[in-house]
Chains A and B, each alone.
Chain A
Amino acid sequence: MNDRVENTMIQEARHFETDLAVIGSGLAGFAASTFALNRGIRTAQAGNTGAVAYTTGYLDLLGRVHNEDVCPVTDPWQGLRQLRQSQPLHPMARVSEDDLRAAFREFTSFISDCGIIYNAPGQFNATALTPAGTLKPTLCVPATMQAGVDALARKARCVIVDFKGLRGFSARQVVANLKDTWPELRAERVLFPEMETGEIYPEVMARALEVPAHRQALAERIRAVVGDAEVIGVPAVLGMHNPDLVMAEMMRLLGRPIFEIPTMPPSVPGIRLREMFEQVFPQKGLVLIPQQKVDKVVFNADDLQLSLSDNFGPITIRAKAVILATGRFLSGGLTAAIDGIREPLLGLPVTQTASREDWYHLQYMDKRGHEIHRTGIEVDDKFRPLGENGQPVNDRLFAAGLILAHQDWIRGRCGAGVALASAYKAVEAVQELLR
């Protein structure tokens, strides 16, 4: 940075007073703020952007359970009952079925109201498409992906259209891997309007489709290859801020349903969620300081204080309660060193294996999943982190999301489940504390 500019920049210390501070801007952090807002709790959210941009847009409750063998889950609620038996320490095992249903309903209805429509959680997992042409069980999908779930279910006459220059997404790949069970599926490729040469990026395409003229042009090109297809699948690029409008417009122009398939991360549906929260939360009165790492938390007798800083200077947030939703390794909530795993912000004890040798099995795709994912911090039923002595570290400290121990969100396909369940319960406990 230019010294002169820095010197003339006004460095002003800013201070916020609030009831709840949420640390972390991943799914768990956004969910915690959502639940807090709905309960009228004054909230400030800060902390690194989490891995939201790496999500597909699918909200998984539970896709696999590990009993004697690893089984796909059709009814996730039934799966949760099994989970309570087989993995009683799993964070979701601490949350009642009613609370989990309520958490999913509340969260999906909030984001739907804010402009990204999601289906409400049902009784069964949907079978959703992936860019590799494999299938994924998930509970809630954005409305822009729903027609894909339906088309797959009834094996509709369908064309997957991809774009020249978009790496890692091949319509032919999707078709090659599904054609045995879905004979009416075929692949086409078109040039994306005004991005005809070289490599193209989903985020740029999505923003382009916010503009009606671009939608017109793309619809013309798709129309040329659509043939007798009843439904059209495309990579997830249907708009950034108004995906449902973009989808509806494309549907009108093409005269048939169109749906999105997630792309490789960072993918548009994740970025959409992040941008939506960043826009909506401040409008609803929440103090949001994303993209900045919280440096320090100090607990006092009656409150606590967070310290962080941005380009404009230091920031302090004083709150009555704090929810730690800093995620795992990718988001920096946990760090792995050559000799062990640590929780860097508060130095909380991390449940882990005795040696690095035990972090991973020998086989990458080992069905049991790797021990490293089950490491994390311990909490009680109020989602208060526990110290070495097994007692809550502080009555004002709560934790939510993937930082929690005893869950393998990757193999369990339960990332959103863990985030929403723990955020829901943590906010409930915060509300009780504030009362």
Chain B
Amino acid sequence: MVTHSSTTRQTTGRRTFETEVLVIGGGVTGAGILRDLALRGIHGLLIDKKDLCAGASGGNHGLLHSGARYVSNDLQSAVECREEGEILKRLAPQCIDNTGGLFVSVEGDDEDFAGKFPGFCLAAGISCQEISATEARQLEPGLSASTRRAFMVPDATVDPFRLALENVAHARTLNESIYRPHTEIISFDIEAGIIRSALCRDNRSGEELRVIARQYVNAGGAWAMNIAHLAGCRDVHLLYSKGTLLVTHDRLTKRVINRLRPPSDGDILVPGGTVSVLGTTSLRTESLDRVLPTVDEVNRNILEGAAMLPALAHTRYIRAFSRVRPLLQSVGDSDDRSATRGFALLDHQSQNLKNFCTITGGKLTTYRLMAEKAADLVAGRMANTTACRTAIDPMPGGDACRWTEPGASPKYWYQAHNTEDTILCECEMVPQSAIDQIIHCAPGAEEDMTLEAIALRSRAGKGPCQGSFCGIRIASYLYDRGYYQDRTGLIHMRDFFNERFKGQRTVIWGQQMAQMELAEALHCGLLGLDCLEDVCQDTPENE
């Protein structure tokens, strides 16, 4: 089935994959690079030590920035956001909800900043229209009574999971480029300034794999510095900023709501289908592991957010999550929020490597541009003169990628009108046919599919029960299908619940507490998943 790449088993028993370009890191940038290269006729292999969007790509607001957020402190980022936002709205509309956005100030906010805001936007070419506080509250009734000024900007929302899946699916269609999840880079084999091969490990099976490519791209996001170190490169300097966000049970606004002040805690609320996402805090961190939300961060987001939307103080939250943003280090930075949100492409010539580059920093909105720059460098190095097409060609919509969209699943299910197609996740109305399709053909599903992987490719487990019921139903459906034939399904169930819990832990109060009590009674009290005698080794705790 593979044309450009080939797999061989050497005498050592270690499998070898051959490809033209190895892309390390399955965030949106890595996925974008895979597609960009494929559009130029270059075959790629994309690997991620976990799965798509496991880092900052999947751990943000899902905000497609108009750029207005950055007008006061990072003009270049603001302009890039504006341009890239327009391109994505045009070419990948299936991943985007063009909600529009509001910047609002409340009593006590810096009036001077509000006064300067339209001028900042004008300089960045971003459309910005002031409306009265009364008009703003008519548009968004949840806004605080103490709203002072309000500006409309062309913010939108984007589903990063679908975006990554579509990029990978398109690359696969174009030239059978490959995405391989749970594959971690271990070391590079370097000879005379050239990386000859990369040694990887399959984190599920522990199997070691060798990848032979002509070019190697490090799109590791926050992990890019560590990956560069493996190749002996000391020219990637990142700061790590931990951000914590909250997901509400209900969608609270139609539009993106930004606090009209210099970026701070809890000042952006972004709708996403049936929910809203509030954030974020910003905390310098040294560590990339065990990045979990704390009660303090959750409380801070709520306190700040409630100044814009009082309902945030008493609404029901179903989840909190934290991710690390990679920020490019420049001299003398004291505040992470004023550090540039721009990106960097390093060709590593200064490190005496000719076929390795690193792309990092940046943000979700500018992922396409980042991918373009990296692919330009790689293609140039391979003497491929085909120009980038991602700003011209629309992103095709893949059937197996459509299940991440909030509200899409009930629509398809209702349209199909098949009473035999039982709903497995009731909160998000995910039917068994969606699970079938994901297992059969969603990107990254080729070798092995866990409940976590299914959840990443659908809305399963994203609703108020956070998977505590549908995890059981999906597992039993997969047993039925013969997909599970031993205790693996129980282990996947346990791991899935453990993983979902990380996001629930700090927002369990009110109705969520009753939900959680029932879930634990079911998972531990009845099914005994807390005492499962493992048939495999425990997976190491790596988040």
Contact = CB atoms under 8 A, between A and B. Distances in A.
Contacts of A338: 299, 302, 509-510
Contacts of B494: 365
Given A134-B527, A170-B476, A409-B525, 19 more contacts: A130-B527, A130-B528, A133-B490, A136-B526, A169-B476, A176-B485, A264-B522, A329-B516, A336-B508, A337-B509, A357-B294, A357-B295, A362-B292, A365-B494, A365-B497, A365-B524, A365-B529, A367-B531, A410-B525
B192 interface: no
Interface stretch (B76-84, B365-373, B419-427, B435-443): B419-427
Nearest to A162: B480
B343 interface: no
B465 to A, nearest CB: 12
A194 B497 CA distance: 36
A167 B510 contact: no
Q: Enumerate the 4 nearest inter-chain pairs by beta-carbon distance, A residue then B residue, closest first.
A: A173-B479, A364-B501, A198-B419, A170-B476
A170 B477 contact: yes
- Between B294, B480, B510, B526, the greatest number of chain A beta carbons within 10 A of the residue's beta carbon is seen for B526
A83 B493 CA distance: 31
A167 B422 contact: yes
A284 to B, nearest CB: 30
A335 B419 CA distance: 39
Interface stretch (B40-48, B175-183, B467-475): B467-475
B531 A72 contact: yes
A365 B526 CA distance: 13
A177 B520 CA distance: 21
B138 to A, nearest CB: 30
Contact of B520 (A264, A355, A362, A410): A410
B490 A134 contact: yes
A410 B476 contact: no
A173 B480 contact: yes
A130 to B, nearest CB: 5
Contacts of B532: 134
B473 A167 contact: yes
A133 B529 CA distance: 11
A169 B472 CA distance: 9
Contacts of A133: 490
- Between B419, B472, B517, B530, the greatest number of chain A beta carbons within 10 A of the residue's beta carbon is seen for B517
A121 interface: no
Contacts of A131: 476, 527
21 contacts: A54-B521, A56-B526, A130-B526, A130-B527, A132-B493, A134-B527, A168-B472, A170-B480, A173-B480, A177-B490, A198-B420, A332-B514, A336-B508, A336-B510, A356-B509, A357-B295, A360-B501, A365-B494, A365-B497, A367-B531, A372-B508
B274 interface: no
B247 to A, nearest CB: 16
A12 B521 CA distance: 41
B230 interface: no
B529 A172 contact: no
Interface of A: 51, 54, 56, 64, 70, 72, 130-136, 165, 167-170, 172-173, 176-177, 197-199, 262, 264-265, 328-330, 332, 335-338, 355-357, 359-360, 362-365, 367, 370, 372, 409-411, 413, 415
A329 B480 contact: no
A172 B497 contact: no
B271 interface: no
Interface of B: 292, 294-296, 299, 302, 419-420, 422-424, 469, 472-473, 475-477, 479-480, 482, 484-487, 489-490, 493-494, 497-498, 501-502, 505-506, 508-510, 513-514, 516-518, 520-532, 541
A329 B490 CA distance: 27
Contacts of B476: 131-132, 167-170, 173
A132 B527 contact: yes
Nearest to B522: A265
Contacts of B294: 357
Contacts of B498: 363-365
Contacts of A54: 518, 521-522
Contacts of B518: 51, 54, 265, 330
A172 B482 contact: yes
Contacts of A165: 422
B318 to A, nearest CB: 14
A193 to B, nearest CB: 17
Contacts of A362: 292, 502, 505
B512 to A, nearest CB: 8
B163 to A, nearest CB: 30
A337 B480 CA distance: 41
Contacts of B508: 336, 359-360, 372
A264 B509 contact: no
Nearest to A364: B501
A215 B243 CA distance: 59
Given A173-B480, A173-B484, A411 B514 contact: no
A167 B425 CA distance: 11
Contacts of A72: 531
B313 to A, nearest CB: 9
- Between B296, B422, B494, the greatest number of chain A beta carbons within 10 A of the residue's beta carbon is seen for B422
Contact of A410 (B469, B477, B480, B524): B524
A54 B509 CA distance: 20
A173 B489 contact: yes
Contacts of B521: 51, 54, 330, 410, 415
Contacts of B486: 176-177
Nearest to B426: A167
Given A173-B489, A176-B486, A264-B472, A136 B528 contact: yes
Contact of B530 (A56, A365, A409): A365
B527 to A, nearest CB: 5
A415 B475 contact: no
B295 A411 contact: no
Contacts of A70: 531
A169 B473 CA distance: 8
Given A54-B518, A265-B518, A337-B509, A132 B490 contact: yes
Contacts of B524: 365, 410-411
B429 to A, nearest CB: 13
A255 B93 CA distance: 63
Contacts of A365: 494, 497-498, 523-524, 529-530
B452 to A, nearest CB: 14
B506 to A, nearest CB: 7
B472 A132 contact: yes
A261 to B, nearest CB: 11
A413 B517 contact: no
Contacts of B420: 197-198
A173 B475 contact: yes
Nearest to A357: B295
A233 to B, nearest CB: 15
A212 B433 CA distance: 36
A221 to B, nearest CB: 18
Contacts of A372: 508, 513
B473 to A, nearest CB: 5
A27 B477 CA distance: 32
Contacts of B513: 329, 335-336, 372
A355 B506 CA distance: 11
Nearest to B498: A364
A328 B477 CA distance: 32
Contacts of B514: 329-330, 332
Given A132-B527, A169-B476, A264-B522, A176 B295 contact: no
Contacts of B479: 170, 172-173, 176
A365 B477 CA distance: 23
A330 B514 CA distance: 4
A70 B487 CA distance: 21
Nearest to B528: A134
A59 to B, nearest CB: 13
B319 to A, nearest CB: 14
